[in-house]
Structure 1
Amino acid sequence: MDEKEVEFVDDLVSAFPELQDDYETHVCNNDGVLAHLFFWDVTQRVVESFRNQNGDTLDWRAVLSFLEERFLGEQAREKDSVVDSLIATAFLWNLPFPGSPGHDLSRHLGPTLARRFQEMRPLG
């Protein structure tokens, strides 16, 4: 496990205490942090929050903003590229595909994430 990934996951959970139970369950089930696996849970929570905007305490807009701020895209310094890779492969790639509930969430990505999402999944 990359130290930067663990630090990033810790930062995310600190910023969004609503993810704490998911995090603790993940750590217990996996004997530690597996960032890419944990991000599956994060992605599902964000999509669910988007779809049921009054039913989840997690602020999906704030999570997207947090990820946008932390994603460096083309300006990524080598030491931070693992965080960019985590966000791209474990979050963006796992967003709902066209025709699936929650797909419209991708329309709310910030400019850097939207650009990377378009590169990865040109058909949405």
Structure 2
Amino acid sequence: MTTTSPSVRLVSDLVTHIPEFRGAYESHVFSQGGVLPHVFFWDVVQNCVRSFLGEDPAAADWRRTLDFLEEQSARGELGVDEVIVTSFLNDLPYPHEPGYAIVQELGPVMAARFVRIRPGG
């Protein structure tokens, strides 16, 4: 019996809760030969920022994505936190980049983690 890691389960749950990520997920699995959560989350960040900026009407709604990730962050599960902090929060735009204002929309748990990993923004 194989056990799914928390980080792979995070990706699966994200795709289940926000079906707009299904195409990116299927493309990712095909090209990577499986689920690599940290790699997949690069696409999640890009999608979320494009949605926030209004650049892609087909993108998953950024609010739903942030709400889902906030809920997952609040659980405090080790593999989940690692992916969200390292491969989502850390990859959000920097102050000089378009979309940086999305940082002001983070929920309290993710906002606190964001400040810890990127105190200068």
Q: Which TM-score applies when normalising by structure 2?
A: 0.92
Aligned to 1:96: 93
Q: Provide runs of 4+ in structure 1 moved above 3 Å.
A: none
- For 1:108 and 1:83, the matched residues in 2 are separated by 20
Q: Which amino acid aligns with 2:83?
A: L
2:80 to 78, 83, 86: 83
State the identity as a percent.
Answer: 44
Aligned to 1:27: 29
Aligned partners of 1:48 and 1:56 also within 8 Å: no
Aligned to 1:112: 109
After TM superposition, give the deviation of residue 4 of structure 1 in Å: 1.1
**Structure 1 alignment gaps of length 5 or more:** none
Q: For the aligned residues, what is the CA RMSD?
A: 1.5
Any idea what SS the aligned residue of 1:123 has?
coil
Aligned length: 118
Matches within 5 A, 1:19-58: 19-52=21-54, 55-58=57-60
After TM superposition, give the deviation of residue 53 of structure 1 in Å: 6.5
- For 1:53 and 1:44, the matched residues in 2 are separated by 11
- For 2:36 and 2:59, the matched residues in 1 are separated by 24
1:17 to 19, 40, 48: 19
Any idea what SS the aligned residue of 1:67 has?
helix
After TM superposition, give the deviation of residue 101 of structure 1 in Å: 0.4
Any idea what SS the aligned residue of 2:88 has?
helix
- For 1:85 and 1:108, the matched residues in 2 are separated by 20
Q: Which amino acid aligns with 1:5?
A: S
Q: Which amino acid aligns with 2:46?
A: Q
Aligned partners of 2:89 and 2:114 also within 8 Å: yes
- For 1:42 and 1:33, the matched residues in 2 are separated by 13
